Structures are given as structure tokens and as C-alpha cells.
Amino acid sequence: MTIRYAWLLAVVLFASGCGKAERAEAVRLSKVLTQKQGDFAGANTMEEEFVNGARVWCEGIVTNGAGRGEELNRNASVATVLAKSAADVSTQLGQVRQAVYDQSFQAEYPQSVRTGLISQLTQRQRVLQQLRAFLQQSAKELEQYQQNKSYAGDTYPGVIQQLGALLNAYKAPDDAVGAALAALKTKYRLTGSEP
């Protein structure tokens, strides 16, 4: 009888030891997410402002054409500035993604949270890169219009249609970092005061 109890005790101790390692991984990921939460929130705000500005600019061109003279110059400059904004947001998201990517886990749940978050951030960066590419192409074509003396100002580059479609399909970013942090806190009953 005592051998069976000793075996059961060994299994319980082994299982609780494994649970400690998993919890430690969850605490480590939670700390990284907490540290990056402000950066992520800033990136979300920048992204929303960028998309709103790009929508207004794009709709104005579709409605009125790219313009002539100073208006055409201004539209080319705005496209360049917006492309840089898309790159800046992507860079900030990339820093958050890299911080999460640099963590490695053995336990399944922290690993799944890490993988899901990396996937979401990568998807957002891809959309931002596509927006940036459309904006850069728009700027290039608008600059070419400046060289064309016969350009009437009432049309616009075809890539702006693609840009508009992507902007219209855009959905505001979720708080993926906050959701991942909440999931970890719920599953492991983390309070934030863990060592």
C-alpha cells in the first residue's frame, strides 16, 4: 500500500512542478506584454489617425481629381507623408512583435498566446505595408502628372482606387496585447505582483 501512495505522491509532485514552470512562463510573457502595452496602444492610436487621414485624402482625390499646380504638388507630398506614417506604425508594431517573438516557451498555453499575438501583429504589418506601397505608387504617379503639361487635373492614378478599397475594408485594430494579457491573467490567476 505504501508503494502506491509513494507513486501517487511522486506523480502529484511532478505535476505541480510542471505547473510551476508553466506559470513562470506565463508570468514572463505577462511582464513582457505589460511592458509593451503602452507602445502597442500608441501604435493603435497612430494607426487609426493614419487611416482616417488617408481615407479623407483618398476620398478627396476620387471626388475632385488630383488637381493641378500647387494642389497636385500638395497631393503628391501628402501621399509621401502618409506612406511614411504607415511605415512608422509598422515599425512600432514590429518592436512589440519582436519583443514577444524573442520569448520562447515550452508550455502549450503561453506558446499559443505568443503565436496568436505574433500572427495578429504580422497581419497588421502586412496591411500597413500594402497601404504604404499604394501610397508610394500614388506619390510617384502624381509626380509624373506634374511633368505632363496636358494633364487637366480631373483624374487620378488608378492605384488610388485600390488604396480606397483597402482603406474601406480596414477595421480598427483590436487591443490584441490587452486581450492576450487578460487571457494569461485569467488562466493563471496572475495579479501583477508576481516576482
User: How many CA atoms are closer than 13 Å to the CA of 68, on its beta-carbon side?
Assistant: 7
Check residue 51 and give its pLDDT. Answer: 97
Check residue 149 and give its pLDDT. Answer: 87
Check residue 1 and give its pLDDT. Answer: 47
C-alpha cell at 55: 481615407
What is the model's pTM? 0.86
Check residue 48 and give its pLDDT. Answer: 96
Angle at 95 between CA 189 and CA 53, to 5 degrees: 105
Report which DSSP code applies to 195: -
Cα distance between residue 188 and residue 184, in whole Å? 6
List the chain residues with pLDDT less than 70: 1-18, 195
C-alpha cell at 64: 475632385
Cα–Cα separations (whole angstroms), residue 69 to 66, 138, 146, 193: 10, 16, 7, 61
User: How many CA atoms are closer than 13 Å to the CA of 176, on its beta-carbon side?
Assistant: 22
Check residue 16 and give its pLDDT. Answer: 42
Give the list of residues 6+ apart from residue 187 with CB closer than 8 angstroms, or none: 26, 109
Check residue 46 and give its pLDDT. Answer: 96
User: How many CA atoms are closer than 13 Å to the CA of 142, on its beta-carbon side?
Assistant: 28
